[in-house]
Amino acid sequence: MDNCKRLSRVDRSISTRLSSQVSSISRGRVDPIKSAFMQSDCVVIGSQAFVLSGSFVKTAGLRRDREEWLEDVQDPDEIIRELKAAPVRVDILRFWQRIPETEPKYAFYHEWRHVAAIPITDYKSWWENQVNANTRRLVRKCAKLGVTVGKTDFDDKLVLGIIGIFNESPVRRGKPFRHYLKDFENVKKEMSADLDKSIFITAYFGEELIGFIKLVFTDRYAMVTMILDKKSHHDKSPVNGMVAEAVKVCAERKISFLTYTLWRKGGHGYFQERNGFQRIAVPEYYVPLTLKGELALRLGLHKGLRAAIPESLKGRLLALRAKWYSLKYPQTTA
């Protein structure tokens, strides 16, 4: 147990360093995308931190919105042994394989997780073969309307521009926008994470920032960690122009894939598809460590109760949520 310890409430600033070496841990607040993780514990094994989620069934996994995209689980068999001996009960270990490794490497039970990624050989191939005429028209339209797209250094001016985009609406994609009304220091701190391996691609209309992409480079691919534009300038298609620029950057750097989170449905999925992203399946493993974990796996409850909601009902619930916020914020919903 010398190299396995339990933490409570991992600090976000610490989590940004977990992909290298974990030398010291302090108590603090987790600020992940899903609030369910805000009171989670964390088990650190070697240089990797496994966040615990779930109330009845405890599942350990690398942080979904960051670490699992940046690194592989080191020696799953050793991780399993350490988790079984950890000072806190862990019922299931969850981990996945990152692209381009799409064939299962391990004998554990797995399901398929679908990543949105653009396979890149060169920019010309993407432009001519991987996007349709309408997408090419939107990229040209962006330039024709006077939008300047390119790489921008991270500085206070860029932070102020990002804040302007954040504060345009309290709601995005049918739900409360977690960056709305954040102060300058918090936005600067969050946006400056991983600066040593990331760039910002921006869209300016005159002096006004109307869109940006934060692009992080990993050992296997580049990934879009944030992409936003201003609703008031949506007619200028800045996002299409920025995606094209991101593909160009990846082609110049000989990066084989550009990822944009998981494959989505609805309007988000349509955007991914029309910009050349493909649905790539990778194995995601669920390894039961206790009898409770084994039962949860057999009953299909290993992903939690939310995952057990039928897709047809989930779609209706999401539509109702979006409708509610559109009524609550009729002039600002984006």
Please provide the average confidence, as pLDDT, over all residues in the chain: 86
β-pair partners for 147: 205
pLDDT at 328 over 60: yes
Mark whether 71 and 121 lie in a shared domain. no
87 with 156, same domain: the answer is: no
Q: pTM of the entire structure? A: 0.82
Residue 148, amino acid: T
Q: Is residue 275 part of a domain?
A: yes
Record the tokens describing residue 197, joined without a space: 């391996």
For residues 128 and 176, membership in a common domain is answered with: yes
Residue 207 lies in a domain: yes
pLDDT at residue 64 is higher than 80: yes
- Crossing angle of helices 156-166/184-191, nearest 10°? 110
Identify the DSSP state of 158.
Answer: H
Cβ atoms of 123 and 133 closer than 8 Å: no
* Residue 175, helix vs strand vs coil: strand
> Do the domain assignments include residue 95?
yes
If asked whether residues 198 and 272 sit together in one domain, one would say: yes
Co-location of 122 and 261 in the same domain: yes
- 133 plus 94 within the same structural domain: no
237: left (phi over 0), alpha (psi -120 to 50) or beta: left
In a domain, 299, yes or no: yes
Name the helix (H) or strand (E) containing 282.
strand 278-288
Give the bridge partners for 176, in sequence order.
171
Same domain, 58 and 178: no
pLDDT at 16: 40
- Two tokens at 331? 């002039």
Say yes or no: 209 and 299 in one domain. Answer: no
Residue 133, exposed/middle/buried by CB under 10 A (0-12, 13-18, 19+)? exposed
**Same domain, yes or no: 56 and 124:** no
17 with 54, same domain: the answer is yes
**Would you say residue 317 lies in a domain?**
no
pLDDT band at 265 (very low <50, low <70, confident <90, very high): confident
Both tokens of 40, joined, read 């989670």
DSSP β-ladder status, 208-217 and 147-152: unpaired
Query: Could you give the 3-state DSSP secondary structure of residue 168?
Result: coil
| Side chain identity at residue 189, one-letter code | K
C-beta of residue 91 within 8 angstroms of C-beta of residue 298: no
Predicted confidence band of residue 6 (pLDDT cuts 50, 70, 90): low
User: What confidence tens digit (pLDDT) does each residue in 108-140 have?
Assistant: 999 999 999 999 999 999 999 999 999 999 999
In terms of domains, do 62 and 9 share one? yes
Return the CATH number at 138: 3.40.630.30
Give the HSE-up count for residue 274: Cα atoms under 13 Å, Cβ half-sphere. 17
Domain that holds residue 195: 117-279
202 with 65, same domain: the answer is no
Report helix, strand or coil for 176.
Answer: strand
Compute the distance between CA of residue 274 and CA of residue 236 in angstroms, rounded to an integer.
17
User: Is 244 inside a domain boundary?
Assistant: yes
Domain-located, residue 247: yes
Total of domains in the chain: 2
Residue 311 lies in a domain: no
- Residue 327's closest CA among 171, 152, 99? 171
**What is the pLDDT at residue 187?**
98
Q: Phi and psi dihedrals of 94, rounded to 5? A: -120, 130
pLDDT tens digit sequence for 165-222: 999 999 887 788 999 999 999 999 999 999 999 999 999 999 999 999 999 999 999 9
